[in-house]
Amino acid sequence: MDKETKTQIIKDYQRSANDVGSCEVQVALLTKRITELTEHMKIHRKDFSSRRGLIAMVNRRRRLLQYLQREDYERYSTLIKRLGMRH
């Protein structure tokens, strides 16, 4: 992911002007990295070290989403809809 893409994602999902680390921003960045790595894994099926990293990112995103769902369900549901993750 290049710097412009990362900056744009942060700008789209931040909650205030200086926000770079809220759950929404972290989940959006992880989602972008997961989709890119998923495309890589479709081509390079035997790249097990990247697979391990992908699984770690998916687990980190899942834990962040569980936290957000527990703390503020409205923010959670809005984020899920914006990212188009679940029905």
User: Could you report the per-residue pLDDT of 18-63, keeping only the tens digit for each?
Assistant: 999 999 999 999 999 999 999 999 999 999 999 999 999 999 999 9
Q: Is residue 33 part of a domain?
A: yes
Q: Is residue 18 part of a domain?
A: no
Residue ranges making up the domain that contains 69: 23-83
Q: Is residue 77 part of a domain?
A: yes
- Global pTM? 0.92
Number of domains in the chain: 1
What region does 22 belong to: left with phi over 0, alpha with psi -120 to 50, or beta?
Answer: beta
Residue 28 burial (CB < 10 Å; 0-12/13-18/19+)?
buried
Q: Which of 3, 52, 74 is nearest to 32 (CA)?
A: 3
Q: Is residue 9 part of a domain?
A: no
Q: Is residue 7 part of a domain?
A: no
Q: Is residue 79 part of a domain?
A: yes
Residue type, 72: D
What's the CATH number where 55 sits? 1.10.287.10
Q: Is residue 1 part of a domain?
A: no
Q: Is residue 5 part of a domain?
A: no
